[in-house]
Copies of this chain bind each other. A is one copy, B any other.
Amino acid sequence: MSFDRLQKRIDEMQNPTVVGLDPALAHIPPYIIEKHIGEKGETLEAAAAAVTEWGLGLVDALCDIVPAVKPQLAYYEALGPYGLMALKTISEYAKAKGMYVIFDGKRNDISSTAEAYSAAYLGTTTVGGSEIFAYDADALTVNAYLGSDCIKPFIETAVKHDKAVFALVKTSNPSAGEIQDLYFCKDYKQGKQGKKGIQGTESDIRIYTAVGDLMEEISRDTIGKFGFTRVGAVVGATYPEEIEFLRKRLKNTFFLVPGYGAQGRSAEDVARAFDDNGRGAIINASRSIVAAWKKSGGEFKTAARDEALKMREELKRII
């Protein structure tokens, strides 16, 4: 249940890493792109074919040492419908190789549309008398700005098909705080007149805390055997103090932590994302692994595997 499948795989591999399969074309070795342009011309179809070859190669290079992959949907979408075909092919291959597949799409909308998104990525679409999985990912990232009624359809689908979501709580980008760090008060008079004052510490009354609390509250009855609900949280490694605060507060929330590696954060920073048992978080690295060939000069699969092994050792050291 819940994040049980993911946590079990992390435990078995002793590696809480998810590799971001983000096919910015600059991450793909030029010889692969040139080969497909030679066959299909300078087209999005050629680019998608190059992405597919690259993605399948990375799955082969990583599937026995890394528990999960996280394709960033934007890069596939930038190649039009062919890009989505590449996403489907790579994702199905990764699943067949035993990997846990997190689609990073940061989707959401009003509840009827949230149902369509959950059907698209985690559940099924009904055509005539057939129930068909369009993608069948294991998890999807979602945006919670619209509130709980837009998260609930994802929870229902997740329960039905043993899937999960990660809601954005505190993101890793520089301007994350503009909205997320605002202090809030539920009672206007509290804020306006300060008669009673706001209860709690500074972190207690940040917007990201309100979002995190809400997500844990609405998913409480989906807690699995490792103690985590089906609604995880995206918490950026770039804000280590916030990770520490949120880890203590959201005891039943599994964290997806971007910002390690290319975004500049160390193993010590991300250590705070794990609970006392060394569980409850998975650390994402994208560029530093999938584009490692650019730094090392070696073959892209070998370079990615070497870098993933290095990251595993670094994380082992701190958990």
Contact = CB atoms under 8 A, between A and B. Distances in A.
B205 A191 contact: yes
Nearest to A114: B74
A317 interface: no
Interface in A196-233: 197-198, 202, 205, 207, 210-211, 214
B84 A42 contact: no
Contact of A81 (B85, B186, B194, B258): B85
Interface in A105-146: 106-114, 116-117, 119-121, 125-130, 132, 134-135, 143-146
A258 to B, nearest CB: 8
Interface residues of A, number: 89
Determine which residue in A25, A34, A42 has the highest number of CB atoms from chain B within 10 A of its CB, and name it: A42
Determine which residue in A42, A127, A173 has the highest number of CB atoms from chain B within 10 A of its CB, and name it: A127
Interface string A235-267: 000000000000000000000001000000000
Determine which residue in A110, A117, A207 has the highest number of CB atoms from chain B within 10 A of its CB, and name it: A110
Contacts of A187: 183
A127 B177 contact: no
Contacts of A278: none
A252 B177 CA distance: 25
A179 B214 CA distance: 9
B116 A74 contact: yes
Interface in A70-121: 72, 74-75, 77-85, 88, 104, 106-114, 116-117, 119-121
Contacts of A47: 125, 127
The 10 closest A-B pairs by CB, nearest first: A194-B194, A147-B175, A147-B178, A80-B134, A74-B116, A42-B130, A42-B128, A149-B175, A78-B120, A81-B84
